[in-house]
């Protein structure tokens, strides 16, 4: 499927999303508090943050589904407050929950969506979409009978069939198997290479690392943004990795040591992180007294991963004051 941008004022700007100070509040409490995003066209950006951080609310303000209480900006060159209808026409939005018709076939779902957009030459458009997303051989299957991965692929076909300039994906791969996630991201990068701009919220670190840049939100605030390696570097984090059969049993003790920001067990190793090298080394040295002498832990300093950084940023963001 080739992505061709319709004529709009966005052709005169290098930014697909250009918003400043976005605020959304309910009952006097800010859910999103002053978010700025300046996203170039044709890039894939990842939206990260814990549940309830404001990712979905921000996405909905950007595409015109929610009107901000404060702030301004443009999406695809259109004013997010005054031209939301035009934004929606040029945007594909895939929600967390499968929101299509379970008792219709894949083809029938796509035909229905095409009619909503008044798409010309509907039959050939649906044929091309089915073929490009690898759905042609399943087109007669009922959507409700599909596995999570195939539902995801059908949803992606439906929200991109009208050839949007901007694709917004809200936790799109939750609950699907690793192969389906990989296939999904291969398709996202094909869309991006054809000129589409993609903003995706995700909890998966391997997915975030596939993005050109990431944005991290916590408690409705923008904590950091940039290229993955830059975000990791700017965190100032230092990490030691411990490998051993009993290494995870050291975690509770290490968490109590001064200078340790977080301890996490993943990838069959214990990651211990902080910003002060001397404190980390002292904790590691002292931990040897806690180890099983028959099964010593092998420690080495490693480059912090995005997951290490993500955990540290969550801890540094502190308590969610929006609840008070």
Q: Are residues 242 and 223 both part of a single domain? A: no
Asked which of 227, 260, 275 is the last residue of a domain, the reply is 227
Phi-psi region of 267 (alpha: psi -120 to 50; beta: other; left: phi over 0): left
Percentage of the chain modeled with pLDDT above 70: 93
Bridge partners (DSSP) of residue 22 are 35
Shared domain for 95 and 124, answered yes or no, is yes
Domain assignment of residue 107, yes or no: yes
The token pair at 70 is 């404060």
Structural element, H or E, at residue 207:
helix 205-208
Residues 313, 216 contacting (CB under 8 angstroms):
yes
Task: Report how many helices (DSSP H) and strands (DSSP E) the chain contains, helices first.
Answer: 11, 14
Q: What is the average pLDDT across 53-81?
A: 93
For residue 10, the model assigns a pLDDT of 38
Q: With H, G, I as helix, E, B as strand and everything else as coil, classify residue 81.
A: coil
CB 75 within 8 A of CB 87: yes
In terms of domains, do 26 and 131 share one? Answer: yes
Query: Which residues have a Cβ under 8 Å from the Cβ of 41 and sit 6 or more positions away?
Result: 10, 13, 14, 15, 16, 165, 195, 197
For position 211, what pLDDT does the model report? 94
User: Concatenated DSSP letters for 298-321?
Assistant: EEEEEPPPHHHHHHHHHHHT-S-G
| Residue with the two structure tokens 């230092």 | 238
Query: CATH code at 252?
Result: 3.30.70.860
Q: Is residue 186 part of a domain?
A: yes
Is residue 233 situated within a structural domain?
Answer: no
**Tokens 């002053």 belong to residue:** 34
Looking at the fold, whether 56 and 163 belong to one and the same domain comes out as yes
Over residues 288-302, the mean pLDDT reads 82
Over residues 49-76, mean pLDDT: 92
Q: Where is pLDDT greater, at 82 or 178?
A: 82
Tell me how far the alpha carbon of residue 75 is from its chain's centroid.
18
Instruction: Tell me how crowded residue 126 is: count the other CB atoms within 10 A of its CB.
Output: 23
One domain for residues 203 and 283:
no
What's the CA dihedral at 97, 102, 106, 111 to 10 degrees?
-90
Residues of the chain by 3-state class (helix, strand, coil), percent to 5: 40, 25, 35
Q: Are residues 221 and 274 in the same domain?
A: no
What is the predicted pLDDT for the residue at 4? 38
Burial of 12 (0-12, 13-18, 19+ CB in 10 A): exposed
Tell me the C-alpha distance between 180 and 174, whole Å.
Answer: 11
Q: Assign residue 97 the CATH number of its domain.
A: 3.40.50.300
Stretch 12-24: mean pLDDT:
88
- The total number of structural domains in the chain stands at 2
pLDDT at 173: 82
Cα–Cα distance, 100 to 202 (Å, whole number): 21
Domain that holds residue 73: 9-227
- Summarised one tens digit per residue, pLDDT across range 124-166 is 999 999 999 999 999 999 999 998 889 999 999 999 999 999 9
Six-digit token string for 172: 């799109």
Handedness of CA 91, 96, 99, 104 (dihedral sign): positive
Per the document, the length of the chain is 324
């Amino acid at each position: 499927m080739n992505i061709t941008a319709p004529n709009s004022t966005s052709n005169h700007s290098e930014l697909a999303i250009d918003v400043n100070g976005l605020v959304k509040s309910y009952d006097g409490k800010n859910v999103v508090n002053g978010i700025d995003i300046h996203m170039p066209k044709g890039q894939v950006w990842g939206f990260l943050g814990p549940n309830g951080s404001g990712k979905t609310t921000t996405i909905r303000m950007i595409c015109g589904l929610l009107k901000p209480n404060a702030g301004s900006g443009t999406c695809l060159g259109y004013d997010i407050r005054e031209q939301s209808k035009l934004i929606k026409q040029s945007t594909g939005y895939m929600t967390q929950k499968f929101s299509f018709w379970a008792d219709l076939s894949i083809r029938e779902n796509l035909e229905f969506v095409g009619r909503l957009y008044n798409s010309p030459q509907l039959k050939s458009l649906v044929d091309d979409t089915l073929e490009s997303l690898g759905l042609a051989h399943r087109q007669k299957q009922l959507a409700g009978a599909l596995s999570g991965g195939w539902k995801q692929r059908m949803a992606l076909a439906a929200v991109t069939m009208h050839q949007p300039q901007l694709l917004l994906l809200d936790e799109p791969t939750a609950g699907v198997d690793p192969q389906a996630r990989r296939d999904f991201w291969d398709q996202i990068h094909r869309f991006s290479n054809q000129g589409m701009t993609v903003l995706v919220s995700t909890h998966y670190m391997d997915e975030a690392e596939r993005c050109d840049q990431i944005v991290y939100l916590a408690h409705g605030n923008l904590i950091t943004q940039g290229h993955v390696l830059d975000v990791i570097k700017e965190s100032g984090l230092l990490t030691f990795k411990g490998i051993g059969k009993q290494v995870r049993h050291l975690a509770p003790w290490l968490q109590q040591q001064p200078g340790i920001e977080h301890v996490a067990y993943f990838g069959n190793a214990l990651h211990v992180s902080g910003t002060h090298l001397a404190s980390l080394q002292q904790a590691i040295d002292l931990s040897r007294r806690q180890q099983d002498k028959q099964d010593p832990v092998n420690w080495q300093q490693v480059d912090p991963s995005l997951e290490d950084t993500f955990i540290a940023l969550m801890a540094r963001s502190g308590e969610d004051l929006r609840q008070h």
